[in-house]
Amino acid sequence: MYKRLSAVLFPVMTIFLIGALVWGYQENQEKNAVLIKAENQYQRAFHDLSYHMDRLHGEIGNTLAVNSTSNAMHRKGLINVWRLTSEAQNEINQLPLTMLPFNKTEELLSKISKFSYLTSIRDMDKEPLSEQEVKNLKVLYKDSADITKDLEEVQNKVIKNRLRWMDVESAMANEDKVMDNTIVDGFKTVDKKVGEYPELDWGPSASSIEDKRAIKKLDGIPVTKEDVKRKAIKFANLGENPEVQVTENGQGTEWASYTAKVKSGKKGEASLSMDFTQKGGLLISYTDNRKVGNKAVSMDQAVEKADKFLDKKGYPNMTAITSDDYGNMGNFTYVSKQDDVLIYPEKITVRVGLDNGEVIGFQSSNFIYEHEDNRTIPQPKLTVEQSRKMLNPEFKEDYHRKALIENELSKEVLCYEFGGSINGAQYRIYINSESGAEESVEEMRMQTR
């Protein structure tokens, strides 16, 4: 009997064993293939980064080499600088540097990218490179040479010693050991040197994008946690003695704020969260985390509810410009309206539950930092008919209205907004009411209201 049993089981177990070995071999091969692919991608990104930094250095030199009145060549050079900087940023993002301090170099590349782009898109015949901008380019020419040299040294060591980027991942992931890796040390050296470079004056156009809100600080007296608690209770229409927890964020900075977490009071289940500015105690956001039920309210009904909500909460003269339904929720974007002009910088987003039409989300950071009472709006120099002539003849217009927007230089400009379709897609096109230039073109993936 045992002989029969063993005669049957032995070949079966042998087949299972062989199958397990084959499966293990295939798994190991697949794992190695993934590692080899990742290593090849890292190596390609790193060598491309070194190449593009060298090209960036050369392109800045080319821009400086031409005559100071060669505006066309300056524009061409700066466009190439912007393109190469963008390539370098993309390659840095492909490397496993998330745990490696390389932020100084990334910040410098970001500033070079913004500076070169904003300078190249302006009318350089009317506004050529200034003396300060030329000085900046000379400094960047020298700095980019140093960065390129250091990266090339790392690159030579990688090639000579056949170093692997997968080892970099292991070295950074192992926090218990002291990192001793040629690539890691090389990138640390580069970032340390970049951090020691003196800060450049990038000019008002480039710096305005990053510093606009920092410069325009909020007015109002700083509020306390108790003030925030009272404001949260009032805004959410809570009952008596609700449970409210207030925490402070960003203490000691100009972006200091408070977060208030409360319970809805209806059934004591759905938690609410609200953020307030420390200066003036203005509401930044409101979130009701309740579970939204089945859809029972239309988008038209929801926008009416959102209109009443904003008016009741002290935000009059707001106009819904876009709407989008996602699942059982409706999302609406509002902007201020003054003298029949939509003020796009003053934006508020509202989320409505389509089960009962109640507002479950509110975000007003743009409105807080951009709002002005009685904003000065320039008079248009062009008529609607004159601006319409600037549109593509194939553009089918659905509506037009006046809108104040921010252009790429963060300057507010009065435009005629034309909504319509072309090539089977919906667009909003903004024509400058003074010059007739196309300031912005947006494809509308959400419904325009």
The tens digit of pLDDT for each residue in 250-306 reads: 776 667 889 998 865 555 554 789 999 998 899 999 998 888 999 999 999 999 999
Q: Do 66 and 140 fall into the same domain?
A: yes
Range of the domain at 444: 384-448
What pTM did the predictor assign? Answer: 0.66
Q: Do 188 and 230 fall into the same domain?
A: no
Count of domains observed in the chain: 3
Q: Do 87 and 159 fall into the same domain?
A: yes
Q: Do 118 and 267 fall into the same domain?
A: no
Q: Do 192 and 232 fall into the same domain?
A: no
Q: Do 36 and 63 fall into the same domain?
A: yes
Last residue of a domain, one of 331, 365, 399: 365
Q: Do 42 and 169 fall into the same domain?
A: yes
The tens digit of pLDDT for each residue in 230-244 reads: 999 888 887 777 788
| Close Cβ partners of 135 (under 8 Å, ≥ 6 residues apart) | none
Q: Do 15 and 143 fall into the same domain?
A: yes
- Torsional sign, CA 340, 341, 344, 346: negative
Q: Is residue 427 in some structural domain?
A: yes
Across the range 333-349, mean pLDDT stands at 94
Q: Do 181 and 278 fall into the same domain?
A: no
Distance of CA 120 to CAs 107, 206, 380, Å?
A: 20, 12, 27
Q: Do 154 and 270 fall into the same domain?
A: no
Q: Do 28 and 115 fall into the same domain?
A: yes
| Close Cβ partners of 307 (under 8 Å, ≥ 6 residues apart) | 318, 320
Kindly report the CATH number assigned to the domain that includes residue 438.
3.10.450
Q: Is residue 219 in some structural domain?
A: no
Average pLDDT, the chain: 82
Q: Is residue 233 in some structural domain?
A: yes
Last residue of a domain, one of 147, 176, 207: 207
Q: Is residue 294 in some structural domain?
A: yes
Report the DSSP pairing between strands 396-406 and 341-353.
Answer: parallel
Instruction: Please report which confidence band the pLDDT of residue 214 belongs to, taking 50, 70 and 90 as the band edges.
Output: very low
Q: Do 249 and 307 fall into the same domain?
A: yes
Residue 440's H or E segment, with its range, is: strand 438-443
